[in-house]
Amino acid sequence: MSTQPLLVEATTHLSEVSFCVVDLETTGGAEDSRITEFGAVRVKGGEVTGEFGTLVNPHTHIPAAIAVLTGITDSMVAGAPRLADVLPSFLEFAHGCVVVAHNARFDVGFLRRACAELGHTWPDPPVVDTVGLARSVMLRDEVPNHRLATLARHFHASVEPDHRALSDARATVDVLHALIERIGSLGVHTLEDLLEFTRHVHPARRARRTWAQGVPEKPGVYCFVAESQASDGPRREVLYVGTSKNLRHRVRSYFTAAETRPRIDEMVRLATGVETTVCRTQLEAQVLELRLIAAHSPRYNRRSKFPEKASWVKLTTEAFPRFSLVSRVLDDGARYLGPFRRRSAAEEALLALYDACAMRRCTTRLSVRTPRAACAVAELGHCCAPCELGPGTAAYAAVVETARAIFDGDVRAVVGAAEARLARLVVQERFEEAAAVHRRLETFHDGMRRSHRVRTLAACPEVVAARRKDEGWEIHVVRYGRLAAATVSVRGEDARAVAESAVAGAQYVAPPVPPLPAATVEETERIADWLESDGVRIIELTGDWSWPLHLGHRLTQLAAEYDRAAVDEDDGSRDLELVALQRRGATLPRMPS
């Protein structure tokens, strides 16, 4: 039997839900026990729509204690059908239903094992356990325990349970209806609400699900807030900011068992309300979320707890320039590569740059008039010693030009240096060093891609673009890498006229300090993701939005080739991988001139 999809929506009203109330009798409670009787009742809207009951031949002895309890003996089941004949009929009977049982773990466990044993796929329907539901609803002074017989007597069930499957299933139907009637006064009207009562959701959190009732089913941003009265007046704190394509469904999920994060459970209990902002496009919602997090630093957002600490590699503007790791960009005419998400990543990229450019590593400010003695780095051949003001000065100027070309996007020098070094290290079987070079190359590639992706978009005074969405177009105006306007053109409207109106009403954005965008780097990257997605059409572009030549293809190719041939010393394939890597290194195409 193929897997049955969930046929009941989470927001289906209980009157529209089909329940299959099931009870099984078995030869015992162990996993190797066998089913001796099926009993099931289908109900919908409080009415019984079908019943299913049969004995099952377990092909094993029924213990005396079980026979006394249930009244089912070996002679009664001797002529009964086999489980292999009964199970498909039951699965068909329960098709499309929410399964209900008293102590559902027991009954559903037997059904799962029976399906696995006989080669059927368990359809995994929603399950309601009347034991868990009763524990959530019944007060301690109402019933001494939550056994089926106790609850049936308390609710005056029409059938008294007697440890026979169909009788117990009929009694469970009455108990289920009584419990649903009880919790209806608490605002439980949907299947999702019903399932929550059988799970471990804190009552204070569950009681706040009414906050989602007035939330629109549209894309946008939601904020959980906590308002309190302080000595200096009312105080409002934004606890958490999120975004969703459907605000009502997302906000509602915070009050259900679907949300399992302990910190979020704590946040919901502290909150006093939810505020939502409807956005016209998903990109607008993502950008607004980032801006609100930056403005309020909500303590329950991971971005607030672990903010990105950007690092940049700087090519200084001294008489004899050098590389420097910095944490911010200045308006000083220097070239910057980044940002890198971690300082360690910037350090890896810096080593890749040093492999390609014999730049000086000293931090001393050198003079073009006063020579200085060369340091140990120059003696090792890693720097042409411009400090001596000799022949190395002209050579160093050529090195600086290579570094400037790399920062502008021509990475051939970095790739060529890494390629040559990898080939040497592999031949010498220095695999750990080769892995380090490979890691530097990947980190450098990621940093270069991010740097140019952000920088080129940040350099454009204005980009107006559209993408077809449903029955219309979503249109965005981007200025210097910042979202300045977002709108939607519905079917029948002139999309170009709508775009022109959006441009006219777009936010003014002042030119930023290059290479920074006018927004956060993360916002500009979100915008770049959207601009590079399928179906986007550029309506108007002011400036140059482009990718530098030689940036990605060769770098990605070399990294992929090395990655496929990476040495795995743990599985004994060292020699085989060495031969493969040497073969690839010998046939690598050369960089274009």
Closest CA to 54 of 43, 65, 64, 40: 40
Closest CA to 156 of 184, 177, 134: 177
Q: Which of 62, 56, 51 is nearest to 22 (CA)?
A: 51
Q: Which 8-state DSSP code applies to residue 13?
A: B
Whole-angstrom Cα distance, residue 459 to residue 405? 18
Spatial neighbors of 267 by CB under 8 A, at least 6 apart, are: 224, 239, 240, 300
Question: Catalytic: 163?
Answer: yes
Of the candidates 163, 177, 189, 550, the residue annotated as catalytic is 163
Contacts of residue 214, defined as CB under 8 A and 6 or more positions apart, other chains included, come to none
Task: Give the residue among 84, 94, 131, 86 at the shortest CA–CA distance from 20.
Answer: 94
What gap in Å lies between CA 502 and CA 493, rounded to an integer? 14
Single-letter code of the amino acid located at 142: E
Contact 208, 233 (CB under 8 A): no
In angstroms, rounded to a whole number, what is the distance separating the alpha carbons of residues 183 and 178? Answer: 9
Using DSSP, state whether 531 is helix, strand or coil.
helix
Cβ density class 404-431: b for 16+ within 10 Å, e for less: ebbbebebbbbbbbbbebbbebbeeeeb
CA distances from 254 to 26, 35, 189 (A): 39, 40, 18
* Phi, psi (degrees; rounded to nearest 5) at 564: -65, -25
- Compute the 3-state secondary structure of the chain and give helix, strand, coil in percent, each to the nearest 5: 45, 20, 40
Residues 6+ apart with CB under 8 A from 307: none
- Residues paired with residue 278 on neighbouring β-strands, in sequence order: 220
Q: How far apart are CA 419 and CA 93, in angstroms?
A: 66
Residues carrying an active site annotation: 163
